[in-house]
Structure 1
């Protein structure tokens, strides 16, 4: 008979076949926990939310910085994928950017201050590049100005609840005279 759980109700190690799923679950959980509790939230809370043990968290991420970096990279990968989708527009991509702004404390910090590490600056530059490529010819804003607008909106995303943050983000975009598509994530396949 196969043992499904270890003592104390922990799931048994299922090996490499679930590694990608666990990593994705940890990134999604970290995004949520960091949004709720800040970047100094206990990593045990992230592991619990992901449904894995802390050992699994540390097998995938050496420390808090590595986990936060993975969340940021996933955010940027989703924005890049949204921009590459058929029919993508600045408005639709800004909807994905804004979804991340309302859910990821680290992403807000990255885009607001352009990061204080080479890795953070590189991620910010990737977002700027995507937004620049989405600008239609003759748009009134440059890529740099759109990044400033994103930073300004990120400053408005301060509500205590997700609906408050979303409402405030949309109000900020409206005040800036920029139309934004639906707020949504953009799933990226594990291979991509």
Structure 2
């Protein structure tokens, strides 16, 4: 017995389909890594591959959409005038731990996609603004720069790209605890 096809909701479903694809990509990438089959993402989102490729013609464009959502979440935290660098880093570490797309995109030098550079700069600027205000540095030492923070985040991301998904959370906690000691003194 074959399943009956879903009714075509037409162009009105585009925004819902896009949101479903981003959610599905976040989950599938987290469970299976950045190289997970695109068919798995379409299936998880409940759409056909044509819909997937109409919204996201490449794996990188889909990962960028996930990355952009992650940055938007971090920007919402940073918008709180009392938010410190510690608050931002907590969110970044959590996202790196759960989102393989975020891990894959943490190094914008790995692509020529201008949109990735722009998204990465958004995150770098958030950290820079907080570091420039002594009251918002949180527990970070006074000599720590934005480049130091990005290096620590990149080191964590590099470790987690080589870590099996089921071990990622424990490895992330341990690695970030060690890296934090260097940032806080």
TM-score grouping bracket, smaller chain normalisation: 0.7 to 0.9
Gaps of 5+ in 2: none
Contact (CA 8 Å) 2:24, 2:41: kept in 1 or not?
yes
Contact (CA 8 Å) 1:114, 1:124: kept in 2 or not?
no
CA distance in 2, matches of 1:80, 1:114: 22
In the TM superposition, what whole-angstrom CA distance separates every residue of 1:140-189 from its partner, at most 9, and x where no partner exists? 22111110111111123243235x212221222211235xxxxxxxxxxx
Gaps of 5+ in 1: 1-6, 179-192
In the TM superposition, what whole-angstrom CA distance separates every residue of 1:41-94 from its partner, at most 9, and x where no partner exists? 221110111122222212322232322222222222222222113542222221
CA distance in 2, matches of 1:31, 1:109: 12
Counterpart check, 1:19 vs 2:14: yes
Correspondence for 2:163 = 159
Aligned residues: 172
1:34 Cα deviation from its structure 2 partner = 2.3
Correspondence for 1:93 = 88
> Given the alignment, which residue of 109, 115, 119 partners 2:115?
119
CA distance in 1, matches of 2:120, 2:38: 25
CA gap of 1:114–1:13, structure 2 versus 1, over 3 A, is: same
CA RMSD in angstroms comes to 2.5
TM-score, normalised on structure 1?
A: 0.76
CA gap of 1:38–1:9, structure 2 versus 1, over 3 A, is: same
Counterpart check, 1:39 vs 2:43: no
Note the 1:44-83 alignment, pairs <5 A. 44-83=39-78
Is the partner of 1:12 in helix, strand or coil? coil
CA distance in 1, matches of 2:92, 2:173: 12
TM-score, normalised on structure 2?
A: 0.79
Correspondence for 1:173 = 176
Name whichever of 164-173 and 14-23 sits farther off: 14-23
